[in-house]
Amino acid sequence: MTIYRVRVGFHNPSALTFRQLDEILEPQRFWRTESGGGTFRYFMEYEYESELRDLCAVCELAYSQACKVKKCPLVLVEEKSKAA
């Protein structure tokens, strides 16, 4: 099982933007982590666990879902850890 850290950001987002993003990503098994400091204004951080998807597949999934909320999202995906 691999855990990925996924950050999704938008240019000039509103609180509604991130609420919609949460609603779209939750059924896809993305879990929002606690936002630290004031950075929530521009991006949100999620975790995603998968046995089957690789880094590129997770990035593509996050990007395609974020595009449903607002055009041109910035998506950063990094491998956080692998569990045996």
Read off the CATH number of the domain in which 56 is found.
Answer: 3.30.70.270
Q: 31-67: buried (b, 16+ CB within 10 Å) or exposed (e) per residue?
A: ebeeeeeeeeeebbbbebbeeeeeeeebbebbeebbe
Q: Please tell me the pTM assigned to this model.
A: 0.86
Residue 6: per-residue pLDDT: 96
- Rounded distance between C-alpha atoms, residue 69 and residue 3, angstroms: 24
- Domain, as residue range, for 30: 2-82
What per-residue confidence (pLDDT) applies to 38? 52
Number of domains in the chain: 1
* Chain segment 25-68, per-residue pLDDT in tens: 999 999 999 765 555 578 899 999 999 999 999 999 999 999 99
What is the predicted pLDDT for the residue at 81? 79
